[in-house]
Amino acid sequence: MKHPMRSTLAVAWLLCAAGAASAAPAAGKPTPAAPGDFGPPRGEVIHAILTSPPMVPPPIHRDHPAKVIVELEVREVEKEISEGVSYTFWTFGGTTPGSFIRVRQGDTVEFHLKNHPDNKMPHNIDLHGVTGPGGGAASSFTAPGHESQFTFKALNQGIYVYHCATAPVGMHIANGMYGLMLVEPPEGMKPVDHEYYVMQGDFYTVGKYRERGHQDFDMQRAIDERPTYVLFNGSEGSLVGEHALKAKVGDEVRLFVGNGGPNLVSSFHVIGAIFDRVRYEGGLHEQENVQTTLIPSGGAAIVEFHVRVPGSYVLVDHSIFRAFNKGALAILKADGAEDKTIYSGKEVDSVYLGDKAANLAAVSEARAAEASGTLTKEQQIKAGQSRFTGTCSVCHQGNGAGLAGVFPPLAGSDFLMADKQRAIGIVLNGLTGKVTVNGSEFNSVMPPMSQLNDDELANILTFVRNSWGNSGDAVSADEVRKTRAATKRPEGAAH
Amino acid sequence: MRRAALLLIALLPGLAAAGGDLNPPNPFLEVPGAKLRSALPLAGDEAVPVQPFQLQRHPVTNAEFLAFVTAHPRWRRGAVPAALAGEDYLSQWAGPLDPGAHAPAAQPVTRVSWFAAEAYCDAEHARLPDWYEWELAAAASPTVRDARADPAWRQQILDWYAHPGGKGLAAVEGDSASVYGLHDLHGLVWEWVRDFNSLLPPGADPEKFCGATALNARQKEDYAVLMRIALLSSLRAADTGRLLGFRCARDGGGAS
């Protein structure tokens, strides 16, 4: 034949699968039934209900092992990773994280992986809940326009990550190819009021955080483990504002929390809540009264807590710069009656972030208006207020009054209103050293806010120059742009 | 006789074109032999000698493939045994001898199996390129023979990966020619190679699974090409793909 088979290379590099090594059983020695093997499937064949995040398929009320068919389709899709920033996600089921799979321990799962014909890449799947070489990866390597099938028995209960394991594995994961599979114990799980699906991932783009337009994957940043974004459910806006998780006071909430990585370990925390129970590492054991639980890359946990007072609870990776500067932030909004004996309602975190979540609509509106050339000062003020809250209000306070002797006031500030150009420069480049505001001397440091966009800064400045007794003209994005262009600063300052 | 007919059609590209879309000629261009540091993982650091060869200037187009199936009825859609071409073989064409509006003349032909690509090249007194030949040719930019360490050039390749494939294909030769005069080795379609199924022989040592991918320091430079190898390795010879085309090669150095 004319096809030289001269290659001495190995197939192995293609499929990087955890737990791939499997020793052959010693001949002649009978293998005892695995603890989670409840015999052959019985009853009707079941087509698994798959859900997109943050939803979780309904609990399984079944007293026998069944044959369950799972059909998962891989789609390569362009989606918003942050406001005005698009990214090409490679997905299991059209979303990042991928569809949630729920089966019962002992079920026989017939898995169909479909790679849509419009996709460019081959893909496969490694399910951490599968016992067998590669977790299915070697059996599911699928070209675009093709489908693979393999079958496994779900022997171990728990919450398990699945992910693509096609080379370059890190890139497939970084592009969003991961999700969770829950293997319920035979007796089922304790009923709760809400179950939600949240999964963290780190993303690496060529452009900087929130740099507009389509952003491509940056392999060098991924190798260096310097993510541009750290996100819950694949987008900065996925779980805030109208998309916030919902609950009522008195509810018990169960979160299935995964971490797809590819690189970072998550210090998962909910601001304002203490987890009653955590099934850490997704295993059998529970820890109680947990403030922050560690979720490894390629790992998951089940956390449960009671919502005792109303308000916005903020889910963060408590490696906290990721939350405030890379997007690892989500909201659970609880409605219901106040209980002042438990909580007075004045704690700073929950208030300012709650407002931030609620007011993002004003920011979008201003952006649209600016694009169409119809931006009004009033729209700028509204949009500026929501950005002020959560960024500037930390020091200058929500009412612009500052803190005596530490943070200068913006309300009725002679210093602010005296020189518009100077104000733009200070917000962009920071300010260190003595200033006198309304007759009082301040000597501290304001960091540069150059990570914010020109229009964001223009809106913030317009807001502060027209609030709390201040009255001035609008600051345009163009003015900010000019000041920014005239300033030299180190790459990535204030990030 | 058959050759004469083919030649005639090849000389009249405009006639085969749909919508007045001109199909540029597709000559075989010389690529000098070289020692190639291949991106194939586990290939080791030793450079692979590649003999001089010739490669077609652009991927085979719908017009060119139409000429082929016109002259070779057994490779028409519907006539090919399923073992040689899957059911989606040329399924984007309007008819067995009609590419139709969705497959303009100067676009690369896709949804062609490896067997069909081999047969096409055979009729051209050519063959599919070997992987190392393809890789050597594809390492070249418009200015240098090996541009693989150039981040800007690499990023240009990756930009193609960074967009979903649902949109229509562009016509061939929309890019700048490489130093060899070749077009479209990146950014348009995947391409069959002769030894696509032996890039990764089965029976590998599973212990090397992770080490070979993750610890390979060269991967940073090579992963754009690695993804091509991954794609090719996922295929069987009767498979086709919406973004999978081919071009032909001949032995070079004047021995044609």
Write out chain A's pLDDT in tens, 495 residues. Answer: 334 333 323 333 444 443 333 444 445 566 667 788 999 999 999 999 999 999 999 999 999 999 999 999 999 999 999 988 999 999 999 999 999 999 999 999 999 999 999 999 999 999 999 988 878 887 888 999 999 999 999 999 999 999 999 888 899 999 999 999 999 999 999 999 999 999 999 999 999 998 889 999 998 899 999 999 999 999 998 999 889 999 999 999 999 999 999 999 999 999 999 999 999 999 999 999 999 999 999 999 999 999 999 988 999 999 999 998 999 999 999 999 888 888 865 544 433 444 444 456 677 777 777 777 778 888 899 888 888 876 788 788 888 988 887 789 999 999 999 999 999 999 988 888 889 999 988 887 787 887 788 888 999 999 999 999 999 999 999 999 998 888 765 544 443
- How many residues appear in chain A? 495
Given an 8 Å threshold on Cβ–Cβ distance, is B200 in contact with A14? Answer: yes
The upper half-sphere exposure of residue A397, i.e. CA atoms within 13 Å in the direction of its Cβ, equals: 14
Residue that wins the pLDDT comparison between A125 and B222:
A125
- On whether the CB atoms of residues A56 and A256 are closer than 8 A, the answer is yes
**Nearest one of A421, A424, A430 to A489, comparing CA atoms:** A430
Given an 8 Å threshold on Cβ–Cβ distance, is A11 in contact with B234? Answer: no
Question: B212 pLDDT band (50/70/90 cuts)?
Answer: very low
* pLDDT recorded at residue A359: 53
Given an 8 Å threshold on Cβ–Cβ distance, is B220 in contact with A217? Answer: no
Integer Cα distance of A156 and A144 in angstroms: 32
- On whether the CB atoms of residues A109 and A66 are closer than 8 A, the answer is no
Given an 8 Å threshold on Cβ–Cβ distance, is A78 in contact with B41? Answer: no
Q: What is the ipTM of this complex?
A: 0.73
For B51, other C-beta atoms within 10 Å of its C-beta total 15
For B5, other C-beta atoms within 10 Å of its C-beta total 12
The upper half-sphere exposure of residue B87, i.e. CA atoms within 13 Å in the direction of its Cβ, equals: 2
- On whether the CB atoms of residues B182 and B57 are closer than 8 A, the answer is yes
Strand segments (E) across A175-262: 178-184, 194-203, 213-214, 229-232, 245-248, 252-261
Residue A283 near chain B (CB below 8 Å): no
Given an 8 Å threshold on Cβ–Cβ distance, is B195 in contact with A3? Answer: yes
* pLDDT recorded at residue B77: 95
Residue A13 near chain B (CB below 8 Å): yes
Integer Cα distance of B209 and A21 in angstroms: 9
* pLDDT recorded at residue A361: 66
Given an 8 Å threshold on Cβ–Cβ distance, is A168 in contact with B223? Answer: yes
List, in order, residues 6 or more apart from A334 with CB less than 8 Å away. A246, A247, A248, A249, A251, A307, A309, A310, A311, A312, A313
Q: What tokens does A273 get?
A: 């809540």
Q: Which CATH architecture has domain B3-250?
A: Alpha-Beta Complex (3.90)
- On whether the CB atoms of residues A317 and A288 are closer than 8 A, the answer is no
**B chain contacts of residue A169, beta-carbon cutoff 8 Å:** 213-214
Residue that wins the pLDDT comparison between A244 and B6:
A244
* pLDDT recorded at residue A406: 77
**B chain contacts of residue A118, beta-carbon cutoff 8 Å:** 164-166, 242
3-state secondary structure at position B223: helix
Q: Mean pLDDT throughout B100-107?
A: 93
Integer Cα distance of A485 and A27 in angstroms: 74
Given an 8 Å threshold on Cβ–Cβ distance, is B230 in contact with A14? Answer: yes
Question: B229 pLDDT band (50/70/90 cuts)?
Answer: confident
* pLDDT recorded at residue B242: 92
Residue A9 near chain B (CB below 8 Å): yes
**Angstroms from A395 CA to nearest CA on chain B:** 40
**Mean pLDDT rounded to a whole number for chain B:** 83
Give the ranges where A156-228 is alpha helix by DSSP (H).
169-174, 219-224
CB contacts < 8 A (A, B):
162
Give the strands of the sheet with B249-251, arranged side by side.
Answer: B28-31, B53-56, B249-251
* pLDDT recorded at residue A199: 98
Integer Cα distance of B235 and B212 in angstroms: 21
**Angstroms from A411 CA to nearest CA on chain B:** 47
- How many residues appear in chain B? 256
- On whether the CB atoms of residues A121 and A144 are closer than 8 A, the answer is yes
Integer Cα distance of A308 and A407 in angstroms: 34
What are the CA-CA distances from residue B50 to residues B38, B72, B220, B250 (Å)? 11, 33, 24, 13
- On whether the CB atoms of residues A380 and A472 are closer than 8 A, the answer is no
* pLDDT recorded at residue B37: 87
**Angstroms from B199 CA to nearest CA on chain A:** 6
**Angstroms from B29 CA to nearest CA on chain A:** 22
For A369, other C-beta atoms within 10 Å of its C-beta total 15
Integer Cα distance of A179 and A111 in angstroms: 15
**Angstroms from A17 CA to nearest CA on chain B:** 7
Residue that wins the pLDDT comparison between A182 and B209:
A182
Looking at the partner chain, which of B161, B202, B206 has a beta carbon nearest the beta carbon of A120? B161
For A295, other C-beta atoms within 10 Å of its C-beta total 26
**Angstroms from B53 CA to nearest CA on chain A:** 16
Question: Residue A224, exposed/middle/buried by CB under 10 A (0-12, 13-18, 19+)?
Answer: exposed
Integer Cα distance of B225 and A86 in angstroms: 25
Residue that wins the pLDDT comparison between B171 and B229:
B171
Given an 8 Å threshold on Cβ–Cβ distance, is B230 in contact with A219? Answer: no
Q: What tokens does B232 get?
A: 């090719």
Integer Cα distance of B78 and B183 in angstroms: 31
- On whether the CB atoms of residues A105 and A175 are closer than 8 A, the answer is no
**B chain contacts of residue A15, beta-carbon cutoff 8 Å:** 209
Question: B214 pLDDT band (50/70/90 cuts)?
Answer: very low
What are the CA-CA distances from residue A361 to residues A365, A368, A449, B235 (Å)? 6, 11, 22, 47
3-state secondary structure at position A461: helix
> What is chain B's alpha carbon radius of gyration, rounded to the nearest angstrom?
18
3-state secondary structure at position A200: strand
For A6, other C-beta atoms within 10 Å of its C-beta total 11
Integer Cα distance of B55 and B70 in angstroms: 24
3-state secondary structure at position A114: strand
Integer Cα distance of B83 and A439 in angstroms: 88
3-state secondary structure at position A136: helix
* A379-403: burial string, b at 16+ Cβ within 10 Å, e else: bbbbbbbbbbbbbbbeebbbebbbe
Given an 8 Å threshold on Cβ–Cβ distance, is A117 in contact with B234? Answer: no
Residue A51: DSSP 8-state: B
Given an 8 Å threshold on Cβ–Cβ distance, is B161 in contact with A206? Answer: no
* pLDDT recorded at residue A7: 32
Q: Is residue A62 within a helix (H) or strand (E), and if so which, with residue range? A: none
Largest Cα–Cα separation, chain A? 92
* pLDDT recorded at residue A30: 61
* A408-445: burial string, b at 16+ Cβ within 10 Å, e else: bbbbebebbbeebeebbbbbbbbbeeeeebeeeebeee
**Angstroms from B158 CA to nearest CA on chain A:** 8
Given an 8 Å threshold on Cβ–Cβ distance, is A5 in contact with B165? Answer: no
